[in-house]
Amino acid sequence: MELEFLGTNAGVPSLQRNVTSMALRMYEERRSFWMFDCGEGTQHQILRSSLKLSKLEKIFITHLHGDHIFGLPGLLSSRSNQGGTTPLQLYGPPGIKKYIDTSLTLSQSRIEFELEVNEHTGGVIFEDGEVRVESRLLEHRIDSYGYRIMEKDKPGSLDLKRMAEYGLKPGPIYGRLKRGESIDLEDGRVLTPADVLGAPKKGRVVTILGDTRPCANVLPLAEQADLLVHEATFLHELHETAHNYHHSTALQAAEAARDAGAKELIITHFSSRYKDMEHLQPLLAEARSLFPKTLLAEELVLFPVTRHED
């Protein structure tokens, strides 16, 4: 599991940075990637990456401001034109379906794959046997949501030495034990998964927030997250400006990570006044003064999601 930023600027693109979009790559886990927000120019950024639109499984939209959604119609059309045929699910606030339907209808764009648009107002918005996604409302000028992606725990590894002691060879029995089933041995004993399995592998938690100023719902979304992605539009010297525009400072992002017990923090959504990586260093220093395990989002750079065992 890796996170790749396709845009890290706030409001409008600059010569150095694109507007908001990021991809959660889960090639080992699901053979696909999920996208969070899709600002204008996102498909150009994808061309510069190793991502393939045919592998895009889900899109999650935090809110309906243009710098987070203007790239959607083009990206959906490109996915179809490039031969993407697998179903695609899109999740976002009320109004996202009207935006997609209107854009595609007026432009006479044809989508050759099944597109399922799910509008939500928070809660559990997706769950299968591997992952659960929850969402909560944040505090912005319009409804903006954060997403908590929770990987489910996986069974521990089989102890091959113990299996050999029981006279068991590789085969279907291994799979049954991994699925949690008990096995009747020839001598009448019952072999349970606990007899031969190591400790379960703890699932990772990734929290990706939309635009927000500090609010109560940030903490439950980010609680004990292995990785928290939080906007840091301004330095804290501009905290009044941040508050008035419903954004956060780098220091406020660090406070959220600390208070939630997050393991790592990546700050993003930078104001255009911070023109390049050199000008972003003060934001990084400010966040690290309170939360040392902070990184700056960099476009087209892979950030591994580390599994932190408590």
115 DSSP assignment: E
Across the strands, what pairs with 267?
230, 296
Which range, 80-94, 194-208, 225-239, is most confident? 225-239
Residue 123 has pLDDT above 80, yes or no: yes
pLDDT recorded at residue 310: 63
pLDDT recorded at residue 187: 83
| Architecture of the domain spanning 2-153+202-304 | 4-Layer Sandwich (3.60)
- Over range 122-149, report the average pLDDT: 98
Write the CB contacts of 163 (distance below 8 Å, at least 6 apart in sequence). 174, 196
Phi then psi for residue 12, to 5 deg, are: -135, 155
Residue stretches of the annotated binding site: 63, 65, 67-68, 140, 211, 269
* Whether residue 67 lies in the annotated active site: yes
Q: What is the pLDDT of residues 3-38, one digit of tens each?
A: 999 999 999 999 999 999 999 999 999 999 999 999
Q: What is the pLDDT of residues 269-307, one digit of tens each?
A: 999 999 999 999 999 999 999 999 999 999 999 999 999
What share of the chain has pLDDT > 90, as a percent? 80
Annotated active-site residue in 37, 67, 143, 226: 67
Residue 114 has pLDDT above 70, yes or no: yes
- Over range 80-94, report the average pLDDT: 93
As given in the structure block, the two tokens for residue 262 are 């997050």
pLDDT recorded at residue 119: 98
CA distance 216 to 210: 14
Q: Where are the domains of the chain?
A: 2-153+202-304, 160-196
CB-based burial label for 215 (10 Å; 0-12, 13-18, 19+): middle
249 DSSP assignment: B
User: What's at 103, amino acid-wise?
Assistant: S
What pTM was estimated for this model as a whole?
0.90
Residue 252 has pLDDT above 90, yes or no: yes
The region, left, alpha or beta by phi > 0 then psi within -120 to 50, assigned to residue 278 is: alpha
Residue 178 has pLDDT above 80, yes or no: no
Residue stretches of the annotated binding site for Zn(2+): 63, 65, 67-68, 140, 211, 269
Query: CA angle 284-287-291, nearest 5°?
Result: 125
- Over range 211-223, report the average pLDDT: 98
- Over range 238-244, report the average pLDDT: 98
pLDDT recorded at residue 149: 98
Give the pairing type, strands 145-151 and 56-60: unpaired
- Over range 160-188, report the average pLDDT: 81
> Is 177 in contact with 170 (CB distance < 8 Å)?
no
Q: Which residues of 243-253 are buried (b: 16+ CB within 10 A; e: fewer)?
A: bebbbbbbbbb
